[in-house]
């Protein structure tokens, strides 16, 4: 019996196991059936709406990008432009096929190379080499800088060739053709990434690009369409299209000729004396138009080189103690309030206020001198005497009348309003010579404008207009002083330059009468006290010219020069004198010879000879990059408004070759860099006379070219 039971046990075990397996399979089936029933009923799985996912597969929203508005200077020169760039790429993988296994990859590489060489600055051989990589598993290839930043016109021409496997990526790109050029004022626009890593529309993150982002950006449109399982668009009446609304153009008051010269002067001084920072602004004294404005450190807006050094626009975002230039306001307030007796003598050198001693910059003083000399000598003691004669209430009223402690309202983001330390008699006394009060650069220009305009302050303006409406009208910011007061202060500013005891004799400009006030402001240290040492100051100069008929105000500051081999006045004069002289001579020339502007036509797609003749007939210079016979790109772009004799650079098809840049300006070289994607290292100032790459040398594979100016 025992042996019988043993023989039956395996059979019984198999039956039990079989039933158990059936139960498990049935349970799994029920789970899946329940899951499918749930999905079918709700249309959701793992929190994903399958209906929407399915619709997304067969329907798509295509964003129609709005073109960002262009930023121009006062003459119509392009400062920032949306170039609607496209980059071309080629799919090589044979896995990329359409319905019925239709090839969507490059099928005829020789033909593709030959056709693309007509539109790209690459030789046929170079393109073919890229289309036949050693690694055959490569899915797709691109064509470097030569295949980037293509215009819409070139993209369409390539598309008309119906090349299999050739596709395009669109990316919002901003062109800043002048490089280092009022970079913090104009600002930059960047493309944030969406959740899939794709570029979104450009957004202004600094300067004018940020302040007027809404106007510049416009409004994107969209195209809602259906597509089949292969991704092809299905024509349906339900497709919806909303056109994009392009951004508005912004015109600034900047004058490119004056701005370029200011950049050159600042770069030279910055390189030689190495200050921690510098600011310079040239303003039209009558209208408040900012004609040139820059700072150091700065950056190249085209290459973004140096952008990490400082993001702030120090012309409006930084508050600082202005030092002795504020004595313009002190003297004006004392004269206007009837508390100035020029013939009153006082003991210079030092004065005690409370338990503190205030000293002149020449600590021994000049003995007993009249108040009429206090301003020209930049005597702190003389200014304290004037503040005490006015009293704290009257002096503070004038501080506010001159527009301090509130923003000027210039159209730049982040303007600081400034601060005032004015509790103790010592505080009140030190403000008379520019300590204990924080200001910004635009407030100082606005204050000085009252002296140039018979007592009426003019608001600084950087915006000339939006779209076609760009005519600047002066905006009055108050009348803090009488006309007679302004004339008296202006005479005192002349004394600074032309009296033998004046601190600004170095600012004399032959053939022009100049009125100036110099400044040396102490800098607060980390412990709350003022720094010591010969260079630990903010040195400044504010000038008006011509003094007998004010047209310009030029204000320059320089903080802590690290290589102070010359006096502060001599250093600042290396910017002030040539800059002011250039502006004055420019005005004189403009009054005699009004230049006509030229609108650049489109020559893309035309033969090189035809394009050159067309541009030359308009009084423009031309230069060609490459040896081809067809123009594929141009800078400045079509419809740009420029001055006669400016250079238009034409990129031709075929191999990209180096032109002869002899006599080219810095701006021309920056345009060349933008077109070719090759970095150009520019040394010196003036015009090009030497290039490291020979004329007609191939640019393919070249990363940097050195060009010397003189």
Buried b (16+ CB within 10 A) or exposed e, 582-606: bbbebeeeeeeeeeeebebbebbbb
What pTM, to 2 d.p., does this model score?
0.74
pLDDT grade, residue 595 (50/70/90)?
low
Strand-pairing partners, residue 166, are: 90
Task: Pick 591 or 398 by higher pLDDT.
Answer: 398
Greatest C-alpha distance within the chain: 143
Is the pLDDT reported for residue 219 higher than 80?
Answer: yes
Under 8 Å between Cβ of 248 and 225: no
Regarding predicted confidence, which is higher, 61 or 178? 178
Q: Which residue has the tokens 């004015």?
A: 422
Residues 20-26: what's their mean pLDDT? 79
Q: What percent of the chain has pLDDT over 90?
A: 62
Contact (CB, 8 A) for 252 and 464: yes
For the stretch 651-686, pLDDT in tens is 898 888 899 999 998 888 888 887 887 888 888 878
pLDDT band of 3, cuts 50, 70, 90: very low
Residue with tokens 């306001």: 329
Spacing of C-alpha 441 from chain mean position = 18
Per the CB < 8 A criterion, the answer to whether 253 and 74 are in contact is yes
In the block, residue with structure tokens 């000085």: 448
Average pLDDT over residues 360-374: 97
pLDDT of residue 5: 46
Average pLDDT, the chain: 88
Q: According to the model, what pLDDT value does residue 59 have? A: 46
Question: Which residue, among 181, 179, 176, 178, has the nearest Cα to 204 in the 3D structure?
Answer: 176
Q: Mean pLDDT across the stretch 407-417?
A: 97
Question: In the chain, what is the straight-line distance between the N-terminal and C-terminal CA atoms, in Å?
Answer: 118
- 3-class SS of residue 681: strand
For residue 630, pLDDT beyond 70: yes
324 is catalytic: yes
Domain 598-709 maps to which CATH number in 3.30.10.20, 3.40.50.10310, 3.40.50.300, 3.30.390.30?
Answer: 3.30.10.20
What confidence tier does 239 reach under pLDDT thresholds 50, 70, 90? low
Distance between CA atoms of residues 386 and 492, nearest Å: 15
Predicted pLDDT at 636: 85
Phi-psi region of 664 (alpha: psi -120 to 50; beta: other; left: phi over 0): beta
Pair 544, 490: CB distance under 8 Å: yes
- Please check whether residue 220 is in contact with residue 66, taking contact to mean a CB–CB distance below 8 angstroms: yes
Which range has the worst mean pLDDT, 168-172, 229-233, 273-277?
229-233
Please name the residues in contact with 558: beta carbons below 8 A apart, sequence gap of 6 or more: 269, 273, 275, 277, 278, 538, 539, 540, 568, 571, 572
Taking a C-beta distance cutoff of 8 angstroms, is the pair 622, 615 a contact? yes
**62-210+241-249 fold:** Alpha-Beta Plaits (3.30.70)
- Tell me what percent of the chain is helix, strand and coil, each rounded to the nearest 5: 35, 25, 40
**Residue range 298-349, pLDDT digits in tens:** 999 988 889 988 999 999 999 999 999 999 999 999 999 999 999 999 999 9
Candidates 123, 324, 337, 378; catalytic one: 324
Distance CA 627, CA 51 (A): 56
**Residue 643: CA atoms inside 13 Å, Cβ hemisphere, count?**
10
Give domain limits for the chain: 2-57, 62-210+241-249, 256-591, 598-709
| 332 within 8 A of 325, measured Cβ to Cβ | no
Write the CA distances from 38 to 31, 44, 48, 491, integer angstroms.
10, 8, 13, 91
Cα–Cα distance between 624 and 661 in angstroms, integer? Answer: 10
**So what's the pLDDT on residue 2?**
47
pLDDT, tens digit, 9 for 90 and up, residues 24-59: 887 787 777 766 666 656 655 555 555 555 444 444
Between CA 308 and CA 183 the distance in angstroms is: 13
Which is more confidently placed, 26 or 490?
Answer: 490
Residues 6 or more apart whose CB falls under 8 angstroms from that of 323 comprise: 433, 434, 435, 519, 520, 521, 522, 537, 538, 540
CA neighbor of 276 nearest in space, from 299, 295, 303, 301: 295
Q: Write down the H helix ranges in 274-379.
A: 314-317, 327-336, 374-377
Average pLDDT over residues 383-406: 98
Q: What's the confidence (pLDDT) of residue 39?
A: 62
At residue 487, the 3 state secondary structure works out as: helix
pLDDT in tens, 555-587: 999 999 999 999 999 999 999 999 999 999 987
Which residue intervals of 425-527 are DSSP H helices? 425-431, 441-452, 483-498
Round the CA-based radius of gyration of the chain to a whole number and report it.
Answer: 35
Q: Which residues of 301-329 are buried (b: 16+ CB within 10 A; e: fewer)?
A: bbbeeebeebeebbbbbbbbbbbbbbbbb
Of the ranges 227-231, 242-246, 632-636, which one carries the lowest mean pLDDT score? 227-231
Q: How do residues 610-620 score in pLDDT, each as one tens digit?
A: 999 999 999 89
Distance CA 382, CA 374 (A): 5
Confidence of residue 214 (pLDDT cuts 50, 70, 90): very high
Average pLDDT over residues 472-490: 97
129-186 tens-digit pLDDT: 999 999 888 999 999 888 887 877 789 889 999 999 999 987 777 888 888 999 999 9
pLDDT band, very low/low/confident/very high, at 60 (cuts 50, 70, 90): very low
Q: Is 102 left (phi over 0), alpha (psi -120 to 50) or beta?
A: beta
Q: Which of 141-150, 163-172, 219-228, 453-462 has the highest mean pLDDT?
A: 453-462
| CA dist., res. 342 & res. 334, Å (int) | 11
- Examine the pLDDT at 234 and tell me if it is beyond 70: no
pLDDT of the residue at 56: 47
685-702 pLDDT tens trace: 788 999 999 888 888 777
Those residues whose C-beta lies under 8 Å from the C-beta of residue 710, and which sit 6 or more positions away, are: 684, 685, 686, 687, 689
Mean pLDDT across 51-75: 68
Range name among 24-33, 97-106, 250-259, 302-311 with the lowest pLDDT average: 24-33
Mean pLDDT across the stretch 363-390? 98
* Total length of the chain: 710
Peptide bond between residue 659 and the one before it cis (omega within 30 degrees of 0): no
282, burial (CB in 10 Å: exposed 0-12, middle 13-18, buried 19+): buried
**344 CB contacts (<8 Å, ≥6 apart)?**
370, 371
Question: Is it the case that residue 379 has pLDDT exceeding 60?
Answer: yes
Lowest average pLDDT, out of 189-198, 329-338, 499-508, 541-550, goes to 189-198
pLDDT of residue 1: 45
Measure the CA–CA gap between 357 and 353, rounded to whole angstroms: 6
CATH code, residues 256-591 = 3.40.710.10
* pLDDT exceeds 90 at position 491: yes
- Per the CB < 8 A criterion, the answer to whether 492 and 332 are in contact is no
Which tokens is 187 given? 């600002």
pLDDT of res. 236: 55
What is the model's pLDDT at position 233?
Answer: 52
C-alpha to C-alpha distance for 325 and 302, rounded to whole angstroms: 35
Angle at 350 between CA 347 and CA 355, to 5 degrees: 125
Mean pLDDT of 375-385: 98
Give yes or no for residue 472 having a pLDDT over 50.
yes
């Amino acid at each position: 019996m025992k042996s019988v039971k043993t023989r039956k046990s395996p059979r019984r075990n198999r039956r039990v196991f079989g039933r158990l397996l059936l139960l498990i399979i049935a349970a799994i089936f029920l789970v899946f059936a329940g899951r499918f029933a749930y999905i079918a009923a709700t249309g959701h799985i793992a929190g994903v709406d399958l209906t929407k996912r399915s619709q997304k597969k067969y329907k798509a929203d295509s964003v129609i990008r709005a073109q960002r508005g262009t930023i121009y200077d006062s003459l119509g020169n392009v400062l920032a432009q949306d170039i609607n760039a496209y980059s071309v790429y080629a799919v090589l993988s044979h896995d990329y096929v359409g319905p019925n296994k239709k090839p969507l990859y490059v099928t005829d590489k020789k033909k593709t190379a030959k056709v693309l060489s007509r539109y790209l600055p690459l030789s046929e051989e170079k393109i073919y080499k890229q289309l036949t990589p050693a690694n055959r598993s490569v899915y797709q290839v691109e064509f470097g800088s030569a295949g980037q930043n293509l215009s819409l016109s070139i993209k369409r021409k390539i598309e008309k060739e119906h090349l299999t496997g050739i596709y395009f990526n669109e990316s919002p790109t901003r062109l800043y053709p002048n490089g280092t050029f009022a970079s913090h004022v104009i600002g930059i626009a960047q493309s944030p990434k969406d959740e899939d890593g794709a570029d979104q529309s450009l957004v202004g993150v600094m300067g004018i690009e940020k302040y007027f982002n809404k106007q510049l950006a416009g409004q994107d449109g969209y195209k809602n369409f259906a597509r089949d399982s292969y991704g092809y668009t299905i024509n349906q009446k339900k497709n919806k299209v909303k056109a994009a609304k392009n951004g508005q153009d912004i015109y600034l008051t900047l004058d490119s000729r004056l701005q370029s010269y200011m950049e050159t002067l600042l770069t030279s001084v910055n390189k030689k004396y190495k200050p921690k920072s510098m600011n310079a602004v040239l303003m039209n004294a009558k209208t408040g138009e900012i004609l040139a404005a820059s700072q150091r450190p700065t950056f190249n807006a085209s290459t973004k080189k140096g952008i990490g050094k400082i993001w702030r626009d120090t012309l409006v975002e930084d508050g600082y103690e202005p030092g002795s230039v504020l004595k313009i306001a002190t003297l004006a307030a004392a004269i206007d309030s009837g508390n100035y007796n020029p013939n009153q003598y006082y003991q210079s050198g030092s004065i005690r206020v409370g338990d503190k001693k205030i000293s002149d910059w020449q600590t021994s003083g000049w003995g007993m001198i009249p108040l009429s000399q206090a301003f020209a000598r930049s005597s702190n003691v003389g200014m304290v005497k004037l503040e005490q004669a006015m009293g704290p209430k009257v002096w503070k009223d004038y501080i506010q009348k001159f527009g301090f402690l509130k923003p000027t309202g210039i159209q730049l983001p982040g303007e600081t309003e400034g601060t005032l330390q004015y509790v103790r008699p010592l505080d009140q006394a030190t403000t008379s010579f520019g300590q204990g009060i924080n200001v910004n650069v635009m407030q100082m220009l606005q204050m000085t404008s009252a002296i140039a305009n018979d007592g009426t302050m003019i608001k600084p303006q950087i915006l000339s207009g939006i779209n076609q409406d760009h005519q600047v009208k002066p905006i009055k910011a108050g009348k803090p002083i009488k006309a007679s007061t302004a004339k008296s202060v202006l005479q005192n500013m002349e004394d600074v330059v032309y009296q033998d005891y004046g601190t600004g004799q170095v600012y004399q400009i032959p053939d022009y009468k100049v009125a100036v006030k110099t400044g040396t402001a102490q800098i607060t240290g980390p412990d709350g006290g003022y720094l010591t040492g010969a260079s630990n100051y903010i040195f400044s100069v504010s000038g008006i010219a011509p003094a007998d008929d004010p047209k310009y105000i030029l204000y320059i500051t320089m903080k802590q020069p690290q290589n102070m081999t010359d006096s502060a006045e001599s250093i600042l004069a290396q910017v002030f004198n040539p800059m002011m002289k250039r502006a004055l001579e420019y005005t004189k020339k403009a009054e005699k010879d009004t230049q006509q502007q030229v609108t650049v036509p489109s020559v893309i797609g035309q033969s090189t000879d035809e394009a050159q003749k067309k541009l030359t007939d308009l009084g423009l210079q031309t230069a060609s990059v490459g040896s081809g016979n067809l123009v594929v790109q141009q800078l400045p772009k079509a419809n740009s408004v420029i001055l006669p004799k400016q250079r238009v650079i034409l990129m031709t098809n075929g191999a990209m070759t180096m032109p002869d840049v002899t006599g080219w300006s810095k701006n021309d070289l920056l345009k060349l860099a933008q077109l070719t994607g090759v970095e150009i290292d520019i040394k010196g100032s003036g015009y090009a006379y030497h290039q490291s790459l020979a004329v007609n040398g191939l640019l393919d594979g070249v990363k940097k070219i050195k060009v010397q100016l003189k």
